[in-house]
Structure 1
């Protein structure tokens, strides 16, 4: 089997499909992972901030009698390290154990030793650095005494808290250089700002959770890429294999091997492409066979009259030219065969122009009914000579079409002439014309002849094809009449078809757009 050499390419369609599949997966996983991790980070940080707000409130209420705090409402959120509900309950119990013995004290009147001990106890329970500041921003108590700063008034968070606004931020403000969340909450006693609760909590838990999530996401992405790569490779193979077969078969067809067929394994686009390719090669084989038959038929049609002409000329050259009767008989033969050749060449020229859509149609308004009546009247003597009756059935009035009158007359002549040739003596050839009023004009030619065998009906209209070859040649036909009629009707945007049963005659119908 002939096939064009296929050079393997690094960028084959299989490779491109696989990498495009992986590219989609990578983009999708990257975007979804980035969005998911960003949302989770925001969620965890907000949960941590809510936790610090709750801690600051409970710390203020536990350490400072009559304390009220300013800040946002705390939304209960599930978190990776605590829940606010549990934390609030635990802090309340702890606050009861360390509450001051007397009420009505102001922040300045509180025992700093008591505040320091209480803050240290709460800080160890909460794992949060607690600082209590007075109304001037001076640090009164720091749960990490070794790192205590005397004044935090320059801290933007403290400045906002001293103005009565809650504030928070994330930075590496701790001396340990550990990323932490800081929160400053103003403390009010009887509506008067008395100090600030300043909490700092490391983000190690949130960072650890996010790091674990990133690791899991990277691992799942790698696994997804491996699986999708394998699946993409198999899918690309399922697509590329039929394309390779089609490419090889197309190369063979280009080399002249029209017997190529490719298997059809699916009903998708590739399956339809394979089926279309098989139909194309079948039509190419049929076209090549028609071409071979056409050349053979033309050669045969030309050989018969040329042989007759050559024989007549040789006879005349051998001395028959001196006998007037013999000479005239052979000259008539030469003239008749020459006319036959001229008709054949003209018919072939019409078909060639029709194939190339180069027919020069001189369209005008034509009364189709009148044209058919005149043509049938002209052919009536030919029908009478065979013992036939040629009958025309038309409706009242005219039936106008936009057509080339000479070409349509040629169609009617070919169809009626065929009907006369193939009808039995004593029969009737009927020509009907109807249509119009928004419907296509229709012409039907019906005979009462021998009909056409079912196996030949599909080939009627092919060039040089004759259902009854011997009889057609005896009548002087070339087998092009119906093919010419069909080509001329199609050139007028019409249709032509046959209906026939063997032994019961044939009905030929053609339609034209009405004017």
Structure 2
């Protein structure tokens, strides 16, 4: 009886019971949630299939119903049957129990995919006034069906209905099979977890027992302090053993050595350099990263000011925290390193300062980013100030009397409106860049036909090209796969590149839009022109924000200096690349790549 009570009170037994109960509860909750979400997923997917099928049929079948509204019914039935055979795709997805019916405006079936010809001319009653999903249970077979009715209208008038009905038996069967698998997995997981928990509990308690026995043996001497023992399990016995161990000096020494090793390990693996010095400035501790940052060997006992070479050394002893910056290789912009040094005095509790610690941090990138931020703010301020100054001067001129001269006032207002539009475009581009930088811009990616997208882009600029007598050609070398992209965002990129080509191509020049498939599954799209080109020295910075080759010409043509930056962010968000090549005075080629659709993505 005594052994049984000891076993029940043991940590091992408590761990086993608690972990098994937690595992059972977790698996039950996960199972209920999983089955619920699985059923919701399959039903949602099935609704989407029915909706997609109805949308695919709606236009052409609706046109057929309208065209043959007063014609021969045989021709209408024949054409609708042909359209059903051509456009119905649900059967290809193993949904053999799916039936598609086409009804006229009175509810009579005029076309069906059912093998039962008796379904023809049958009339459905109680048809809804809007697109509706519904469930139906067949009392004869006990099967459940999902139905979808979509209205077809032409010129605001109802011409017919699309009725699609599919059996839910296969969906339920799939869920049942997955449920059975989940139950089996749960049983196996529970058994395995229980076995592992027992092993884990024994792994925890066995060493505890051994440590207890060893501590008791080591502390078989005098002791004064005791730890309260509040239980009779292994933890309680361990507390009794440590009552002996607490007074042992060897433990304190071991802990001190362990802390020293930890400190050395931390110093060796820190990403910042650390140098500790005594009150006189002699080095007493250093790590490898400090030597790497300073690119020199540091010897213990060496004066710290000889190592750091500060422009303004401070007096010792150090009484408060100080910060300074050390710039290395200042004459070479590419190799310049900026190191922030933080000096902190070492003051043991209740004692005077005994030394100080210098923490060295490489802040080169932060300083560069801060400089870029300041340049960006300056550029934005300049870009906004220029149109605001123009608007203010013209408004002042109008206020001074120009408003009473209709022709002059109209011209001033036109200029003011143009400058306001320019600021609007600039702010819009800045907001879009901000969303792209913060990864908050949504991308509605889907399969896109490259040929169709490029043809529409060429059509949008055909009129501008004819006005400037520019030859615009579209060249697609071979059959291209569809790309996985956001059509609106890629249209924005194409519009920007083609617009730039039209702006900087003189009259009589030419622009070519070329698309080809790259090895590796990427599709490359290029916009080439015979314009003024870009000097070689400017090519490396052409994608920078607000960077312009010819600032006066760019502003006159209405550019914000952000178009190529936005294009680069959009292409990179599509996991593609964008690059530019140009010969000054001869022309420019801008190319970008987009990923091709794989079968899994298309489906």
**When the two structures are superposed, what TM-score results if normalisation uses the length of structure 2?**
0.40
**Greater gyration radius:** 1
Say which structure, 1 or 2, has more relative contact order (CA 8 Å, 6+ apart). Answer: 1
- Give the alignment's TM-score, normalised by structure 1: 0.47
